Amino acid sequence: MLLKRYTGNLLLLILLFLLLAFFFLGDVFIPKAIDFSDYPMLHSVFVVFLGLFLESIPFLFLGAIASSFIQLFISEEIIQRMIPKRPLTAIFAAIAAALIIPVCECAIIPVVRRLIQKGVPVHAGVVLLVTAPILNVIVFGSTYYAFQNNPAILYGRIILCVLTAIIAGLFIHIFSTKDVVKEDKIELVQGHEHEIQPSRWTSFIDHTSQEFFMVGRYFIIGALFASVFQVFMDRSVMADIGQAPIKGTALMMGIAFVLSLCSSADAFVAASFSHSFLPGSILGFLVFGPMLDLKNVLIMMSCFKRSFVVTYVLLIFAVVFSLCLIAGGLISKGGF
């Protein structure tokens, strides 16, 4: 395990060095090393991808650092004491708790599982699942930076996240059972296991490097997909779908589910679609993606019972889809 830890730290340092070299010297060496003159479409993909990557990388680092700090220095018992037993009070307390838990949508799943096992109400756990990946400073900053000229997207993302949490929390409280957690003794979530380390700060560096590489690889895949999609997608087809509220919202939610981006950087990918899709569809991408994507559904299946996961997936999709259609109509009429 020591070899694994030091290898991760070494890779992190090498990546930092390469990023700095790429940032300051990339415009000099890359055009000479790669001749794009015969492949203009590939050149366009490279330019779009590079823009997304350079804009988002600081937020990926900040998200990894914040996640590591919460994981290692704030205990679950503190969070548990903050959440009361009364249903409505617990929902709003869980929303408030989400503000101090800036972890990715993968990391929050095992945390919520352990909190439920320790007595936190299931509906409060669902509220944390919904809100924690969105309601934090890192996501606020990245969304504001990506949509500086369209603040309605930032406000809409926050408002729709809170409304989804309240509706989902109340629904789960009324209709769901308390027995939702799989009683597996072995944690099945790869990438979020943390062994006892001799030093907390050594663990902090180790966790940060693992977190960064984990979310970074998903983001790179997502940014590449978005770049290819933008360059090669038939603009007339995209315009037809993007300007239809129902089809556009459903498509963007589907893209968010497949891309499985980290919420601290997904705003930059969403911004790359903003010229082709309506604001309601963009909100569908930004709100639905952190709550539900391909990778965190698989992680949920390892932590919770299948019936609960199916209920959660259908509920979140229906609520987010409906709210995004309403929000899109309000924005088009000058609301928000």
Does 68 have pLDDT greater than 90? no
- The per-residue pLDDT for 16 is 61
Which range has the top average pLDDT, 47-61, 137-151, 153-167?
Answer: 153-167
- Least confident range of 3-17, 122-136, 171-185, 283-297: 3-17
End-to-end CA distance of the chain: 50
Which band of pLDDT confidence, cut at 50, 70 and 90, is reported for residue 311? very high
Q: pLDDT digit string (tens) for 129-151?
A: 999 889 988 889 999 999 998 99
- The per-residue pLDDT for 186 is 41
**What single-letter DSSP state applies at residue 144?**
H
Does 196 have pLDDT greater than 50? no
Q: pLDDT digit string (tens) for 225-241?
A: 777 876 776 666 777 78
**Cα dihedral value 102, 58, 141, 189, nearest 10:** -30
Does 45 have pLDDT greater than 70? yes
Average pLDDT over residues 282-295: 91
Q: Which residue has the higher pLDDT, 82 or 153?
A: 153
Question: How many other C-beta atoms lie within 10 A of the C-beta of residue 275?
Answer: 11
Average pLDDT over residues 49-77: 71
Identify the CA nearest to 270 among candidates 333, 219, 312: 219
Are the CB atoms for 266 and 222 separated by under 8 Å?
yes
Are the CB atoms for 135 and 97 separated by under 8 Å?
no
- The per-residue pLDDT for 144 is 93
- The per-residue pLDDT for 322 is 97
- Is the full-model pTM beyond 0.75? no
Q: Which residue has the higher pLDDT, 271 or 185?
A: 271
Question: What mean pLDDT is reported for the chain?
Answer: 78
Average pLDDT over residues 200-218: 74
Please state, for a pLDDT cut of 90, what percent of the chain lies above it.
28
Does 191 have pLDDT greater than 50? no
Q: pLDDT digit string (tens) for 81-97?
A: 767 778 888 899 889 88
Rounded distance between C-alpha atoms, residue 109 and residue 296, angstroms: 8
- The per-residue pLDDT for 190 is 44
CA–chain centroid gap for 333, Å, is 29
CA–chain centroid gap for 19, Å, is 23
User: Which alpha helices (DSSP H) does the chain contain, by range?
Assistant: 2-33, 40-73, 76-82, 87-98, 108-117, 122-131, 137-146, 151-175, 200-232, 235-242, 245-259, 266-272, 279-291, 294-303, 306-332
Which range has the top average pLDDT, 47-56, 99-108, 162-171, 176-185?
Answer: 162-171
- The per-residue pLDDT for 27 is 54
**What token pair was written down for 236?**
């007339």
